Structure 1
């Protein structure tokens, strides 16, 4: 009987038949090799072995690679604020009588302009820091006896307004009948005394700025000053006395914007007859008293207007008195924290346009760190042992200490972190 052999493997006919069990062992060896390759790939991905140089045959990792960079991080915060001209203050009106004219709310009043009229007499704005606390003009004083025989030193005012020594018409020194004071001249027994003071210089400075000159700007109110005052009074349409009453002038640091009136026409002048503000628009914010370290004079901020346009500003003033917290109380009740008012000046008034008031947002620098190592926040990974780490480009994990978070980046530090190191941002 003839035996027929069928070849199942791809072996050529006539090849010797392998011993029993050889084919099974070869299959097992191939499977084991596959398992080893997979295990090496896993170890490399976990960063559990190898030095700085990765295995060039390892499969590529997913996610982008970035460099650790050195930069300045700035943390910004924002507060809601209010655009306007500031708090309205009462004008120190010292004129007494009935209010006969008031300017419109929002009007701008400059040096030499009328602020209001009392008993139909103008009250004029001038610039200065001293308040008007007394009337200004030439004052009269009694002659003192002369040194020779006690005879009085008779003086009279000459035509030019100066004071000259004069002789008594009667050699005996007695007063001649008919020698009483004439209009514009002091009484024979009196001489004009020049008023002195810094308030005189302040008024003379304003008078000269308005174009009324002919005198020396100093601390003395002379006859020449009185002559210039008369010309000024003539332009105002009032009696030309050469003297300025305490209620005729109000001083301010610069031009003012008229606020809401506190009196009506025909009412008696009071403390709040007229209010004013400055003429430049500013922003007021209520900053948390506990977090107001950013509010220092001249600190730069960005103001976002209601239309979304940003304008630059600077801190101009910081309040010194905090408001009481709203809600809560002793014992840790929840409520709004105490706040202090912060005033922000806007450098370019033209950038605000015609807007006079409205809600705005003030952005300021809260914290800032300079020359630190930074990475994108998305590069941080949570470590199994706790804390944060970074994954290097070759698959290793290094622990880092985080600092300031700002603008999508984070400050990092650690012995294994250096500038320029490549780290992976996981997907």
Structure 2
């Protein structure tokens, strides 16, 4: 897994101590009022936003990948078509020259449904018959009666199937909503059954999947802010919605040493037209500070003495003086500073090698 940028650790104390020695390069020449000569190198206090982040590669995908297995053994006579969106009443694939039809509902099709059957699967079936326009005279309830059988026959005729009035096990697949076919696991003429997937489907909601190291587990928290640069160069904002198992991510490079994170784009932003095989850039934001005063890390001086702390060498004309500051977030080589004597635009010394 390729990483393009490292994680910027906010080790303020370590960074400041490291530049403390460099501060000696500012020169001495102190006077009784605490002033020193102007340092040879200077920088400006700026006001900006600081963002602590990590950027990794990602792939455009669709949410909630899951496998669809055939409830009964058979031969694939029409394979699933990768990339297609399948809606209620359409075939996912064909088995033994019969369409396996997608219907909507949360309860799986686990048995043959015929006159005399009762249950939530029957209720789902009747709701779908009504939605597809075959529910004339049908009272929607959990009972499979003669009216249900009549509606099923009308539906079967529209599919060019023998109108038996029964829905066989394996004839339909219930899913909560329309689905995207992301992979055809079984090809034409393959033998399928309950043991192996015939196809892999997903929600039609676009997501971006990325891999993080186990040490970055804090970034996988639901709601973590993300900025995604899609393969086309378009930048979208999003949030982490969860993690997925390596075997469900569709990423052959996923391993036990990484965590696969699923990111949803804000506002249901579209990723249609993006190359699913190309790489996206995913920037995880772990912490941010808006509209704060910042200086390069090299400008911060570790103060000696019993009080310790950190300071900046404030330049005033040809002389300078040390002022105590409080430090905050460190990111991209800059550090947040605050103090009663600080404001945007002031000139401060910076360590030289």
- The TM tier, using the shorter chain, reads 0.7 to 0.9
**SS in structure 1 at match of 2:218:** coil
| Cα distance in 2, alignment partners of residues 105 and 370 from structure 1 | 44
The one of 138, 147, 150 equivalent to 1:224 is: 147
Q: Which runs of 5+ in 2 are unaligned?
A: 1-27, 247-254
| Cα distance in 2, alignment partners of residues 120 and 300 from structure 1 | 48
Do the aligned partners of residues 212 and 374 (structure 1) sit closer, same or farther apart at CA in structure 2, a change above 3 Å counting?
Answer: same
Q: Does 1:338 align with 2:315?
A: no
Matches within 5 A, 1:73-152: 73-85=50-62, 89-139=66-116
RCO comparison, higher one (Cα < 8 Å, 6+): 2
Q: Per-residue displacement from partner, 1:297-349 (whole Å, max 9, x unpaired)?
A: 2333111123433222221222479xxxxxxxxxxxxxx99322111123455
Do the aligned partners of residues 291 and 243 (structure 1) sit closer, same or farther apart at CA in structure 2, a change above 3 Å counting?
Answer: same
1:306 corresponds in structure 2 to 231
Matches within 5 A, 1:186-205: 195-205=117-127
CA RMSD for the aligned pairs? Answer: 3.6
Do the aligned partners of residues 370 and 238 (structure 1) sit closer, same or farther apart at CA in structure 2, a change above 3 Å counting?
Answer: same
1:387 shift after superposition: 6.8
In the superposition, the TM-score normalised over structure 2's length comes to 0.72
Q: Is the 8 A contact 2:45 2:295 kept in 1?
A: no
| Cα distance in 2, alignment partners of residues 337 and 137 from structure 1 | 46
1:297 corresponds in structure 2 to 222
Q: Per-residue displacement from partner, 1:49-68 (whole Å, max 9, x unpaired)?
A: 348xx9xxx99988778568
| Cα distance in 2, alignment partners of residues 75 and 209 from structure 1 | 50
Q: Is the 8 A contact 2:323 2:341 kept in 1?
A: no
Q: Per-residue displacement from partner, 1:334-381 (whole Å, max 9, x unpaired)?
A: xx993221111234554553422322211011223578x633226725
Q: Is the 8 A contact 1:95 1:248 kept in 2?
A: no
| Cα distance in 2, alignment partners of residues 77 and 234 from structure 1 | 57
Do the aligned partners of residues 256 and 383 (structure 1) sit closer, same or farther apart at CA in structure 2, a change above 3 Å counting?
Answer: closer
1:360 corresponds in structure 2 to 280
In the superposition, the TM-score normalised over structure 1's length comes to 0.61
Q: Which runs of 5+ in 1 are unaligned?
A: 1-44, 140-194, 322-335
Q: Does 1:426 align with 2:345?
A: no
1:254 shift after superposition: 2.3
| Cα distance in 2, alignment partners of residues 80 and 337 from structure 1 | 17
| Cα distance in 2, alignment partners of residues 89 and 421 from structure 1 | 54
| Cα distance in 2, alignment partners of residues 217 and 72 from structure 1 | 58
Query: Larger % of strand: which?
Result: 2
| Cα distance in 1, alignment partners of residues 151 and 223 from structure 2 | 42
Q: Is the 8 A contact 1:379 1:425 kept in 2?
A: no
2:192 corresponds in structure 1 to 269
**SS in structure 1 at match of 2:92:** strand
Do the aligned partners of residues 320 and 273 (structure 1) sit closer, same or farther apart at CA in structure 2, a change above 3 Å counting?
Answer: closer
| Cα distance in 2, alignment partners of residues 261 and 277 from structure 1 | 9
Q: Give the paired residue count.
A: 306
2:19 corresponds in structure 1 to none
Q: Per-residue displacement from partner, 1:405-424 (whole Å, max 9, x unpaired)?
A: 135541235xx645548742
Do the aligned partners of residues 66 and 136 (structure 1) sit closer, same or farther apart at CA in structure 2, a change above 3 Å counting?
Answer: same
